[in-house]
Amino acid sequence: MDEKPPDPPVNPLTGLPGQETRSLGGIWQAPGSFAASGRGPRLFGGGGRRATAVSVVSTVVVLAILVVIFLRAPGSSQVRHTFFDPRDMWQSFIGNPKKGYYSVGEAIWLNIRMFLAAEVLILILALVLALIRQSSSPVLFPLRVLSLVYVDFFRGVPLLLVIYAIGFGLPALRLPLVSSQPYAVYGVVALVLSYSAYVSEVYRAGLNSVHRSQVAAARSLGLSQATTLRYVILPQAVRNIIPPLLNDFISLQKDTALVGVLGAIEANQAAQIYASTVFNYSSFTVAAILFLILTIPLARFTDRLIDRDRRRRLAGATQ
Amino acid sequence: MSRDRPPAGGSGAGLPAEAIRIEGLHKSFGTNEVLKGIDLSVAAHEVICLIGASGSGKSTLLRCINLLEPIAAGRISLLGHEVTGEGIDENLVRRYVGIVFQSYNLFPHMNVLRNVTLAPVKALGMPKAEAQAQARELLSRFGLLDKESEYPDRLSGGQQQRVAIVRALAMRPQIMLLDEVTSALDPELVAEVLDVIRELAAGGMTMLIATHEMGFARDIAGRVCFLEDGQIVEDAPPAQLFTSPRDERTQRFLRRIVDAGRL
């Protein structure tokens, strides 16, 4: 583990190690400690005017240094032209079929659609996998082994290889229906196969986080196993795993870009086509910006949920 | 082996004279034998307190009666029907036997009203409106009506435990098992929970109560059983057991309790 600073300040009100109301200069805050605002460690300080001023100044200085390094680099002007040319960025964003390239701005919709479809399917498949692995019935033993093998396999194989295998393998089988889908569908199948293995482990952690006494309480009231699972265990389990679940979905959003290797015109692929047509990489910058616009709100939302959860737990603990 | 089920007539059907009958009950966790041959008979409307040191098997006995723990050997009959054996619908049995735990175990994601109505609606198929009306009636009887939309973490321990008792009562059980229901409470909150139990006893509820509250046991119980090492060492009316215990082990236990100032 990382080394701890000596003697964290002790909050005089609670006696807990934590930020003292006035210790504004401290750069270290005990994890799980709470500033006077009653909130967890915050990105934007939260400690009065002087702290705000300090963080603004340090941010400006750091940014300025980075910009200067970038501008003074020997190859700076080429890089700026190749990656940040405003005209190329706009051209790739709106696209021009006559000149042979697609709109990155339009292609991102395919990423969004693949993400949404995959997300729903992953949530369902992963739950089924987790429930099978948590089951104790001897009848389900073969299924338990299968789901274990499944999870091990798809967590171990790189997503890119799964996409290739599904995207080129299924069409090659020349089966009716199965082999004649658009590439985006194969992409979604591959994403679902791979991600549900991860997400099932998240679910499993959530199921394990619900105390056994809750099961005893529910069963003792005459509730069946299924009813207990549905109304007592799952709601608590899901509540506990929302942050890691959202975390996985943030990376799922990005990984939809990998489906481009099959030839599906999603944002990354559209940018690639622009780059090889016009010989300018600004299209990739556009794609990156679009992905950021998608993922940052989800990331901030996750942070807020984690924060809210922690405050709720603190409130519960002091009762 | 009888496959009979408890009568489905509800509380109006009247109780058989013998509510609980336990014969030669053995229970082990792995190699650790926790119950070593328990025999116990509880008549209808009788209140029996189980006392004994922690680890003597009181809780395990109650959990076995509720079928929360599989048993190694012996028989348990409830309301005249054997419930240990093949083909028993444990969910059906549990409708007749309520249990309340030391740690309340309320459902933290549901408010008080939903905690109380969940089982009647989902296990008995009671219409929601009826379940809510019944829940409100029980809650108001135990002074909790104003808490119906609170979540458990906003309640005191005493309030939570009273809700847990109401939740068990909402299934209209004919037998209540109370497992050290005041042990996790702050001392000033114990009385409000004991009052609830006294009221249940006055209403004629058959109860088996594991407790460390010796004064309460002396007060409320028709019989007191002292457990040690997985066996019932002594089974006597409280006046006799607390004043002139016959068995040497009971005497030793009570002396320790008195020395600790708890009697």
**pLDDT tens-place string over residues A263-272:** 889 999 999 9
Nearest CB to A217: which of B101, B155, B171?
B101
Domains of chain B by start residue, with CATH: 16-259 (3.40.50.300)
The predicted pLDDT at position A19 comes to: 45
> What is the value of ipTM here, to two decimals?
0.87
The beta-carbon contacts of B240-248 under 8 Å, at least 24 apart in sequence, are: B242/B214, B242/B218
Nearest CB to B108: which of A219, A220, A236?
A236
More confident residue, B139 or B1: B139
- pLDDT at B58 exceeding the cut of 90: yes
| A and B: number of Cβ contacts within 8 A | 65
CA within 13 Å, CB half, B142: 30
Mean per-residue pLDDT for B147-175?
93
Question: Nearest chain B Cα to A223, which residue?
Answer: B123
Instruction: Lay out the sheet containing B73-78: strands in order across.
Output: B32-43, B18-29, B73-78, B81-82
Question: Nearest chain A Cα to B95, which residue?
Answer: A222
Instruction: Lay out the sheet containing B47-51: strands in order across.
Output: B97-100, B175-179, B206-210, B47-51, B223-228, B231-236
**Six-digit token string for B230:** 């997985």
Residue B186, classified by CB atoms within 10 Å of its CB into exposed (0-12), middle (13-18) or buried (19+), is: exposed
The predicted pLDDT at position B9 comes to: 39
DSSP state string for A207-271: HHHS-HHHHHHHHHTT--HHHHIIIIIHHHHHHHHHHHHHHHHHHHHHHGGGGGGGT---HHHHH
Mean per-residue pLDDT for A35-42?
49
Query: B8 falls in which pLDDT band (50, 70, 90)?
Result: very low
**Cβ–Cβ < 8 Å for B63, B56:** no
Query: A43 falls in which pLDDT band (50, 70, 90)?
Result: low
Nearest CB to B123: which of A217, A221, A319?
A221
More confident residue, A174 or B121: B121
**Cβ–Cβ < 8 Å for A227, A157:** no
Closest approach of chain A CAs to the CA of B257, in angstroms?
29
3-state SS of A118-161 is HHHHHHHHHHHHHHHHHCCCHHHHHHHHHHHHHHHHHHHCCHHH
The predicted pLDDT at position A316 comes to: 54
- pLDDT at B174 exceeding the cut of 80: yes
Chain B residues with CB-CB distance to A under 8 A?
63, 66, 68, 90-92, 94-95, 98-99, 101, 103, 105-109, 118-119, 122-124, 153-156, 167-168, 171
Inter-chain contact A236–B109, Cβ cutoff 8 Å?
yes
Q: In whole angstroms, what is the distance from residue B123 CA to residue B92 CA?
A: 9
The predicted pLDDT at position A47 comes to: 65
- Which of A64-68, A258-262, B4-8, B212-216 comes out lowest in average pLDDT? B4-8
Domain A94-318 CATH superfamily: MetI-like (1.10.3720.10)
* Dihedral pair phi/psi, residue B171, rounded to 5°: -85, 5
- pLDDT at A187 exceeding the cut of 60: yes
Closest approach of chain A CAs to the CA of B68, in angstroms?
7
Residues in chain B within 8 Å Cβ distance of A316: 153
Inter-chain contact B91–A217, Cβ cutoff 8 Å?
no
Using alpha carbons, select from A251, A257, A221, A245 the residue that is nearest to residue A309: A245
Closest approach of chain B CAs to the CA of A133, in angstroms?
22
Query: A304 falls in which pLDDT band (50, 70, 90)?
Result: confident
**Cβ–Cβ < 8 Å for A74, A229:** no
For B209-229, what is each residue's pLDDT tens digit? 999 889 889 989 999 999 999
Nearest CB to B68: which of A214, A220, A239?
A220
Query: B85 falls in which pLDDT band (50, 70, 90)?
Result: confident
Query: B125 falls in which pLDDT band (50, 70, 90)?
Result: very high
β-pairing verdict for B18-29 and B32-43:
antiparallel
Q: Residues in chain A, how many?
A: 319
Using alpha carbons, select from B59, B52, B41, B49 the residue that is nearest to residue B250: B52
**Six-digit token string for A165:** 């295998």
Inter-chain contact A231–B118, Cβ cutoff 8 Å?
yes
Task: Return all residues near B35 (Cβ < 8 A) that are at least 6 apart.
Answer: B25, B26, B27, B57, B60, B61, B64, B71, B230
Inter-chain contact B101–A218, Cβ cutoff 8 Å?
no
Query: A253 falls in which pLDDT band (50, 70, 90)?
Result: very high
Inter-chain contact A213–B108, Cβ cutoff 8 Å?
no
Question: Residue B249 CB: number of other CB atoms within 10 A?
Answer: 16
More confident residue, A13 or A240: A240
Mean per-residue pLDDT for A285-314?
85
Locate CATH 1.10.3720.10 in chain A. 94-318
Chain A residues with CB-CB distance to B under 8 A?
213-214, 216-224, 227, 231-232, 235-236, 239, 315-316, 319
- pLDDT at A95 exceeding the cut of 70: yes
Using alpha carbons, select from B9, B77, B70 the residue that is nearest to residue B44: B77
Q: b or e along A259-274 (b: 16 or more beta carbons within 10 Å of the residue's beta carbon)? A: bbbbebbbbbbbbbbb
CA within 13 Å, CB half, A89: 13
β-pairing verdict for B47-51 and B206-210:
parallel
- Which of A2-16, A148-162, B60-74 comes out lowest in average pLDDT? A2-16
- Which of A74-83, B14-23, B178-187 comes out lowest in average pLDDT? B14-23
- Which of A6-10, A297-301, B51-55 comes out lowest in average pLDDT? A6-10
β-pairing verdict for B97-100 and B47-51:
unpaired
- Find where tokens 């030839």 sit: A263
Q: In whole angstroms, what is the distance from residue B222 CA to residue B254 CA?
A: 18
Mean pLDDT over the full length of chain A: 84
The predicted pLDDT at position A32 comes to: 45
Q: In whole angstroms, what is the distance from residue B66 CA to residue B50 CA?
A: 16
Query: A4 falls in which pLDDT band (50, 70, 90)?
Result: very low
The predicted pLDDT at position A21 comes to: 43
Inter-chain contact B108–A235, Cβ cutoff 8 Å?
no
The predicted pLDDT at position A24 comes to: 42
Inter-chain contact A221–B118, Cβ cutoff 8 Å?
yes
Percent of chain B with pLDDT strictly greater than 70 = 94
Inter-chain contact B91–A316, Cβ cutoff 8 Å?
no
The predicted pLDDT at position B12 comes to: 44
> E-strand spans in chain B?
18-29, 32-43, 47-51, 73-78, 81-82, 97-100, 175-179, 206-210, 223-228, 231-236
Mean per-residue pLDDT for A180-199?
93
Inter-chain contact A222–B99, Cβ cutoff 8 Å?
no
Q: In whole angstroms, what is the distance from residue A118 CA to residue A316 CA?
A: 36
Whole-angstrom CA distances from A23 to A34, A55, A74, A311, B234 are: 12, 15, 44, 21, 63
Q: In whole angstroms, what is the distance from residue A165 CA to residue B152 CA?
A: 51
**Cβ–Cβ < 8 Å for B218, B212:** no
- pLDDT at A3 exceeding the cut of 60: no
Using alpha carbons, select from B88, B19, B40 the residue that is nearest to residue B226: B40
Q: b or e along A57-74 (b: 16 or more beta carbons within 10 Å of the residue's beta carbon)? A: eeeeeeeeeeeeeeeeee
∠ CA(A70), CA(A74), CA(A78), 5° rounding? 80
